[in-house]
Chain A
């Protein structure tokens, strides 16, 4: 890759994926721009070793997952318990939602927030597989290539991750009220 313009094109092409994945993997909107910047700077420093677009996206996925992992570990050390009843909790950081009436709006928000919390309780590999499969629509083969794991292992982690999510969501029903 040569020149600012080409790198800028690469950023524009992939920035949405990077921001989305970082948001889901870290469970927060804090410092997203800084994290995304770190992802692309790491990509830029490693650009000389690429030989084609296929490897670029694979490497970008890996960098994004690594940056999210580092951030996740950092936050786990600092994180205090958050509560739905916490008056200081900023719900604008949660997933946006097209509004219905107030009760349904709150229920859906709680359901999605409960899902994000449940995703945070998965193992790192399960979280990565689920996000790459569902959110980014990557096929099993691509996920296996990105994570450097066998194809069947991808399927196993996906199955286990979904199972755990359902269990967590059901366990958390009294807290999240409804699953809308």
Chain B
């Protein structure tokens, strides 16, 4: 309690009950940290009054349904996976039908490309399959 004669405990209780404060009590709150804390808590806890139209929910529910129906439902195509598979198939074809791969740097490059493609596919598909 400060020297202004205000009882902090009583004042904090009054603020909790949302009683109006006198000028002296208000002045005390501004100076007393504990009472300011209590005032702040009471003020923040107070829910703001808002006006909600009675038909808000009904109107919104009516709007939402046609909007949802108008959305075009699409099944996402796995273009990434499709492209990767095609590229792997092309690389494997070139690799097996081309010249002896291990005797040239070109062949070695193809082997590395194919390996990295397969590794990428495994890294990409593995977690997805595990989540199913």
Instruction: Point out residues on A near B: beta carbons under 8 Å.
Output: 3-5, 7-9, 11-12, 15-16, 19-20, 23-24, 29, 32-33, 36-37, 40-41, 44-45, 95-96, 98, 100, 103-105, 107-108, 111-112, 115, 130-131, 134-135, 162, 165-166, 169-170, 173, 178-180
B30-A173 in contact (CB<8A): yes
C-alpha gap A19/B51 in the complex (Å): 8
Verify A20–B36 contact, CB threshold 8 A. no
Query: Among A33, A104, A170, which residue has its beta carbon within 8 angstroms of that of B20?
Result: A104
A23-B62 contact given A12-B57, A36-B56, CB 8 Å threshold: no
- Contact digits for B13-30, partner A, Cβ 8 Å, 1 yes 0 no: 000001011110111011
In the complex, chain A residues whose CB is within 8 Å of the CB of B37:
162, 166
On whether A40 and B30 interact (CB within 8 A), knowing A20-B47, A29-B50, A135-B44, the answer reads no
Question: Can you report 6 residue pairs joining A to B where beta carbons are below 8 Å apart?
Answer: A4-B65, A7-B64, A112-B43, A170-B36, A179-B30, A180-B21
Which chain B residues lie closer than 8 Å to A162 at the CB level? 37, 40
How does the 8 Å CB contact mask read for B30-51 relative to A, with 1 for contact and 0 for none? 1001001101110111111111
A174 and B1 CA atoms in complex are apart in Å by 24
Main secondary structure of the interface of A (DSSP, over half): helix
Question: B61 at interface (Cβ–Cβ under 8 A)?
Answer: yes
C-alpha spacing A36/B64, complex, angstroms: 13
Total contacts A to B, CB within 8 angstroms?
120
> Are B49 and A96 touching (Cβ within 8 A)?
yes
Point out the residue from A4, A12, A178 that lies within 8 Å of B27, measured CB to CB. A178
Q: Which residues of B contact A8 (CB under 8 A)?
A: 57-58, 60-61
Check A37–B60 contact: CB distance below 8 A.
yes
A32 touches B50 (CB 8 A): yes
Smallest Cβ distance from B132 to chain A, in angstroms?
16
Taking A19-B52, A44-B67 as known contacts, 7 extra A-B pairs with beta carbons closer than 8 A to each other, sorted by chain A number, are A24-B48, A33-B53, A96-B49, A111-B43, A134-B44, A135-B44, A179-B29
Partner of A178, one of B26, B56, B61, B65: B26
Given A15-B57, A19-B52, A178-B26; A45-B20 close (CB under 8 Å): no
Residues of A within 8 A of B44 (CB): 115, 130-131, 134-135
For the complex of A and B, 4 pairs with smallest distance between CB atoms: A178-B26, A134-B44, A8-B61, A11-B57
- Please tell me if the beta carbons of A115 and B60 are within 8 angstroms of each other in the complex: no
Task: Identify which of B20, B33, B48, B68 gathers the most chain A CB atoms within 10 Å of its CB.
Answer: B48
Residue contact B26 to A179, C-beta cutoff 8 Å: yes
* A180→B36 contact, CB < 8 A: no
With a 10 A CB-CB cut-off, give which of A107, A134, A135, A179 has the most chain B CB atoms. A179
**CA of A24 to CA of B44 in the docked complex: distance in angstroms?**
10
Q: How far is the CA of A108 from the CA of B39 in the complex (A)?
A: 11
Closest B-chain residue to A11, C-beta based?
A: B57
